[in-house]
Chain A
Amino acid sequence: MSEVLVLVDHIDGEVKKVTFELLTAARRIGEPSAVVVGTPGTAAKVRDALARYGAAKVYAAESEDAVTYLTTPKVDALATLAGSASPAAVLISATVEGKEVAGRLAARLNSGLLVDVVDIDADGVGTQSIFGGAFVVKAKVGNGLPVITVRPGGVEAEEADGAAAEAAVELPAVDAAKSARITGREQIVGGDRPELTEASVVVSGGRGVGSAESFAVVEKLADTLGGAVGASRAAVDSGYYPHQFQVGQTGKTVSPQLYIALGISGAIQHRAGMQTSKTIIAVNKDAEAPIFEIADFGVVGDLFQVAPQLTEAVAKRKG
């Protein structure tokens, strides 16, 4: 069976959920090989986690430069392996950086590229949800090695035993004239909440929340459900919540198991970022709000009555 390369998303030795989703998707096409690009010792740290989700091999592309230059070390590692391992496909998470790495890799290898698929089958046919979920497209790479980015939350991660045999990959020296150097980083301080695009539950607030202070209602519900907090553009533009949490056309695209929209009218720009959520719950005062057209369960009412009651009910159930 052919290898399928999966670029591992990790922060300081902690593997992100999307990587497990990619390993699960890779098993449909062939034998998953995880590619770890990081400082020396990173692959050893993440090996067990990768083995749990079926990685047959773990390629360690490690050097000090691997994390001090933007995207090029990742592209170099994957391009090297594309030559030596003759993989059937390369899967990369459809994050901001993942999409850039994938684009560069496809250009370097002269391969076809599929962007932001929400599902993938054994033949490498990807399903895409475009125009904010208004169209469903099935597409396939016809020439060269398929480079595919997969939307976080698109494929459900399933555990499987993998040998996770480690093999080293030598990274070429970075050409400083062709790369941007990273001189410092600030991680997002998200507290204990999961990251927006990775969370299985997202609770979002809109203009109806009314103020920055009132967002506490949204946060409480999110925390009780173990979810992330999102906001509509209207709420962000009004200064209720920081931009990094914006869901929609000009913000993040999320695809959680459960999306709860509080006081969000549901303009197409917002729906673009959440329409592929598995279950959608909406609470809005306005019975005519378009969000109800796509909600699996909607309550016409005051979110300040409904959300705390829901929070309490969930808390009670969780004991």
Chain B
Amino acid sequence: MNIVVLVKQVPDTWSERKLTDADHTLDRESADAVLDEINERAVEEALKLQEAHGGEVTVLAMGPDRATEAIRKALSMGADKAIHVSDAALHGSDVLATAKVLAKAIGTVEGVDLVIAGNEATDGRAGAIPAILAELLGLPQVTQVRKVEIDGTTVKAERETEEGVAFLEATLPAVVSVTEKINEPRYPSFKGIMAAKKKKVDTLSVADLGLDPAEVGLTGAWSSVLEAAPKPPRSAGQRVEDDGNGGAQIAEYLVGQKLI
């Protein structure tokens, strides 16, 4: 069972997140960067499947040099090796370009049975990368799952969305994305942290993947940002102390706004 796990370094949601003035891309320097929480669950699930079925777990990340921190974290949890796609040309890549790069990078790993990713990153929140990867790789899409198991060459999973639960079945190889409910990720042990320092991390450029730099980054993006501005902070409206009449006051306000 050879598994590729996608990880991403994102600005910590607890820090202030901004777009740069120059080109409206994410200001990655201004915020604390962390391994996106959902990725830890993806790594955990890959390790669990590896424990049950053997094989190798490869971590794949695309991002600037700083993303090595997120990669090391995944390796310290127990993944075997990593691929880091890093190239200045990737700056400003949109969802589709990102998926193209990831699909190519997955293609460099031999005999992949499963690709596992988090369902949605906390920064972009497109929630579409795993599905697009399934499209580009021509593999079954087994996404948004809260439970996954492998039975021979079949993957069975429970997908949970706002519509409810769907029970899925597909043949391997497949692309899986996991939700928050899939598991509780392990903490890296001291031994794991030490071992991670010696694990192999291959750094690949856009050219190494056989892609034209013009296809990725801001120039290759097929959608463009016309303008971006911090939202004028929602100003605090009226505030009252409850003097025993607070509920009635809200009702009055709602009537005034024609909401009831």
Contact = CB atoms under 8 A, between A and B. Distances in A.
B135 to A, nearest CB: 4
A146 B142 CA distance: 26
Nearest to A104: B135
Query: For chain B, what secondary structure do more than half of its interface residues adopt (helix, strand, loop), or is it mixed?
Result: mixed
B165 A185 contact: yes
A103 interface: yes
B169 A181 contact: yes
Contacts of B248: 309-310, 313
Contacts of A305: 242, 244, 246-247
Contacts of A132: 13
Contact of A298 (B131, B157, B224, B236): B236
B226 A142 contact: no
B132 interface: yes
Nearest to B100: A107
A71 interface: yes
Contact of B140 (A97, A177, A257): A177
B231 A281 contact: no
Size category, B interface: 35 or more
A188 B164 contact: yes
A143 B134 CA distance: 23
B141 interface: yes
Given A106-B96, A113-B94, A314 B260 contact: yes
A63 interface: no
Interface in A260-292: 268-269, 272, 275, 279-281, 283, 287, 292
A115 B223 CA distance: 10
Contacts of B143: 70, 100
Interface stretch (A20-28, A38-46, A133-141, A159-167): A133-141
Given A185-B166, A312-B247, A114 B223 contact: yes
A180 B174 CA distance: 9
B222 A129 contact: no
Given A131-B17, A301-B241, A314-B251, A103 B223 contact: no
Interface stretch (B47-55, B56-64, B120-128): B120-128
A180 B173 CA distance: 11
A179 B170 contact: yes
A168 interface: no
B127 A100 contact: yes
B214 to A, nearest CB: 13
A11 interface: yes
Interface string B129-150: 1111011101111111000000
Contact of B162 (A70, A141, A252, A299): A252
Nearest to A71: B141
A299 B246 contact: yes
Contacts of B139: 178
Interface in A117-163: 125, 129-144, 146
Given A112-B221, A133-B231, A244-B160, 11 more contacts: A71-B141, A100-B141, A107-B136, A133-B234, A144-B222, A178-B140, A225-B260, A294-B233, A295-B236, A312-B247, A313-B247
20 contacts: A102-B128, A103-B99, A103-B126, A103-B128, A103-B129, A110-B222, A115-B127, A131-B17, A135-B17, A135-B230, A137-B225, A139-B223, A143-B222, A146-B223, A180-B170, A185-B165, A258-B254, A292-B239, A299-B249, A311-B247
